[in-house]
Every structure is written in structure tokens, then in C-alpha cells.
């Protein structure tokens, strides 16, 4: 996937100013499993930022410690998107 395609998707997302349209788009472009995983990643980052322990997050969201560690790593050193949440 190249930068042009990512930019195009970002432009579509930025142009949406209606929550229902955004939800519909997510349901259209992602499978139910993909959408669930994206939602879990967002919750992981929010809980990490609140200082919740990784093991507690794993239990609460039914995810592996590895998934949480990846989110933690992205939060610390990845692109600024997660930090803005």
C-alpha cells in the first residue's frame, strides 16, 4: 500500500463530519472482525494512557499481553495518532 492510497483514505475520513456516516463507512470497509480489532486497539491505548496495568487490560478486553505491548510501543514511539486520543 503506498502513501497516495493512505492519503486518499485519510482525506475521506477527514471529510466526514457526521458520526453515522463515519460508522457506516467503517462497517463498509472493514469486516466485523477487523472493526472489533480496531475498536479494541483504541480501548487499549485509552486504558494505557490512564495508567491501567497491562494484565488488567488483557483481562478486561480479552486480548493478549503481546497486543497490549504493541499498543504501548506505538504509543511511546509510533506516529502521533495514538497520542492525540
Residue with cell 504493541: 70
Q: What is the pTM of this model?
A: 0.78
Domain residue limits at 12: 1-30
* Rounded distance between C-alpha atoms, residue 69 and residue 33, angstroms: 20
What pLDDT does 72 receive?
Answer: 87
Which pLDDT tens digits describe the chain residue by residue (85 residues)? 689 999 999 999 999 999 999 999 999 999 999 999 999 999 999 999 999 999 999 999 999 999 999 888 888 876 666 666 6
Q: Are residues 10 and 46 in the same domain?
A: no
Q: Are residues 50 and 84 in the same domain?
A: yes
Q: Are residues 44 and 73 in the same domain?
A: yes
What pLDDT does 83 receive?
Answer: 64
Q: Are residues 9 and 50 in the same domain?
A: no
Q: Are residues 19 and 54 in the same domain?
A: no
Q: Virtual CA dihedral for 35, 50, 66, 39, nearest 10 degrees?
A: 0
Q: What's the structural domain count of the chain? A: 2
Q: Are residues 45 and 84 in the same domain?
A: yes
Quick one: which of 60, 66, 65 has its CA closest to 47? 60
Amino acid at each position: 500500500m503506498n502513501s497516495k492510497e493512505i492519503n486518499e483514505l485519510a482525506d475521506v475520513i477527514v471529510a466526514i463530519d457526521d458520526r453515522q456516516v463515519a460508522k457506516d463507512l467503517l462497517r463498509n470497509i472493514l469486516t466485523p472482525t477487523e472493526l472489533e480489532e480496531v475498536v479494541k486497539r483504541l480501548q487499549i491505548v485509552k486504558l494505557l494512557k490512564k495508567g491501567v496495568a497491562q494484565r488488567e487490560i488483557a483481562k478486561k478486553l480479552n486480548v493478549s499481553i503481546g497486543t497490549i505491548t504493541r499498543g504501548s510501543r506505538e504509543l511511546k514511539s509510533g506516529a502521533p495518532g495514538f497520542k492525540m486520543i
